[in-house]
Amino acid sequence: MSARNITILTGVSLITCIVQRGNADAIIKAAQEAGAQGATINFAKGTGIRERMGILGVAVEVDKEVIQVIVSTEQQELIFEQMYLAGKLDTPGMGIMYSTPLDKAATYIPPELIEKLS
């Protein structure tokens, strides 16, 4: 049986961006150009004050894309800013974005990269 090790990453944050469906590609491209290694996209339904319509004021569900990117704390500000600008989040109704510090994360990292960083 081979030995298995967990490589723990510290100093990382999760950037979450929720936007109207169809806007994720430009945001992910901007994140990658700013240094992000990848992203996860989920589809969701959301409601808000802008979606209220009809005689009874019933909320209409709207399709959303939820983008999640894990970045180092050193890259966080730049990537956050580029994602915000690419998503035009300074426009009302375009979406919301927030950052969450992560205590630790784990994934496969090639041994040669670990040696290089050590």
CATH of the domain at 64: 3.30.70.120
Distance CA 66, CA 82 (A): 16
Q: Tell me how far apart the alpha carbons of residues 11 and 97 are, in angstroms, rounded to a whole number.
A: 20
Q: Which two tokens stand for residue 93?
A: 């109704």
Distance (Å, rounded) from C-alpha 114 to C-alpha 32?
Answer: 22
**38 in a domain, yes or no?**
yes
What pLDDT is stored for residue 39 in this prediction?
96
Query: Can you give the residue range of the structural domain that contains 26?
Result: 11-102
In a domain, 82, yes or no: yes
Calculate the alpha carbon distances from 35 to 70, 89, 100 in Å.
11, 20, 18
Does residue 79 fall inside a structural domain?
Answer: yes
Is 87 a domain residue?
A: yes
As for how many domains the chain has, the answer is 1
Task: Report if residue 115 sits inside a domain.
Answer: no
User: For 42-61, how does the pLDDT look when each residue is reduced to its tens digit (9 = 90+)?
Assistant: 999 877 665 555 555 555 45
- The mean of the pLDDT values for the chain is 87
| Residue 74 in domain | yes
Residue 52 confidence (pLDDT): 58
Where residue 23 falls among pLDDT bands split at 50, 70, 90? very high
Whether the model clears a pTM of 0.85, i.e. scores above it, the answer is: no
pLDDT of the residue at 25: 96
